[in-house]
Copies of this chain bind each other. A is one copy, B any other.
Amino acid sequence: MAPYELFYWPGIQGRGEFVRLALEEAGADYVDVARTPGGMREMMKLLRGAGLRLAPFAPPFLRSGELVVAQTANVLAWLAPRLRLVPGDEASRAAALQVQLTIADAVAEAHDTHHPIDVALYYEEQKREAVKRAAGFTRARIPKYLGWLEGAIASSGGPWLLGADFSYVDLSAFQLVEGLSYAFPNAMRRVGRSIPKLRALRARVAERPRIAAYLASDRRIPFNEDGIFRHYPPLDRAVERKAKVGRGRSARKRP
């Protein structure tokens, strides 16, 4: 079979990393196209449509033969049964997608801490607002998302998110914790003691032979300040700012 072709921005982990981790864990034959000569041109061609019935809105996307699949969670839902990274029954697949989409929401909020106003502007142009957004994210949203994952490991019976069966969402939870730990070490120290099961899961994923080999390789791009998880000290310190408003008020529903 021809190798899977992953298309994603070279130079950052970003959303592509969730797909890379699945391909690496499975030992799949794949090409990270945009990191090969001429690959960026190929990726931009596909983003412009290139005769596809459905063009991707944005990377990452995956090509397998004639099929081009985009949107991270959709790519994983399509790949996972082929890579044996999800149990075969429909209920487990729905549970996995539910977890993956919740992780995706957390990732989008992590992104918006450094881009709260406009993705077309630089962080430095929206830094004041970024500090405000990071305060709420680190104080309330990180504990809420990670607490939900901790609860999911507990209620499934563990040790993995879906219970006894390892699946791609364990890789994604690993990546979320890694990314948040890079970007917000200060906030993560505060939340650490309340998520023992999730920390144990993170450690077990890191020790899986293929993941350990991948993390040690140059295929694993280091975290950096062009990606989604960025370490900006003013944002990491935002959790310590005294909340002027909203403190003590009960959390409002989010539509």
A residues near B (Cβ < 8 Å) are 9, 12, 14-15, 49, 51-58, 67, 69-71, 73-74, 77-78, 90-91, 94-95, 97-99, 101-102, 105, 108, 111-112, 116-121, 125-126, 129, 132-133, 135-136, 140-141, 145, 148, 151-152, 155-157, 162-163, 226-228, 245-246, 249, 251-255
**Cα distance A253–B54 in the bound complex, in angstroms:** 20
Residue of B with least CB distance to A81: B90
Interface centre among A12, A74, A90 (most CB of B within 10 A): A74
CB distance from A55 to the nearest CB of B (A): 6
Residue of B with least CB distance to A253: B9
**Cα distance A126–B116 in the bound complex, in angstroms:** 12
Interface centre among A77, A111, A117 (most CB of B within 10 A): A117
* Cross-chain contact A95 with B133 (CB below 8 angstroms): no
Contacts A55-B155, A67-B91, A136-B118: A77 and B49 contacting too (C-beta < 8 A)?
no
Given A15-B255, A54-B162, A116-B133, 19 other A-B residues pairs in contact with their CB atoms under 8 A: A9-B253, A12-B255, A49-B155, A53-B157, A55-B155, A57-B145, A67-B94, A69-B94, A70-B98, A70-B102, A73-B97, A116-B117, A116-B129, A118-B132, A119-B252, A120-B136, A120-B140, A120-B249, A227-B255
* Cross-chain contact B155 with A54 (CB below 8 angstroms): yes
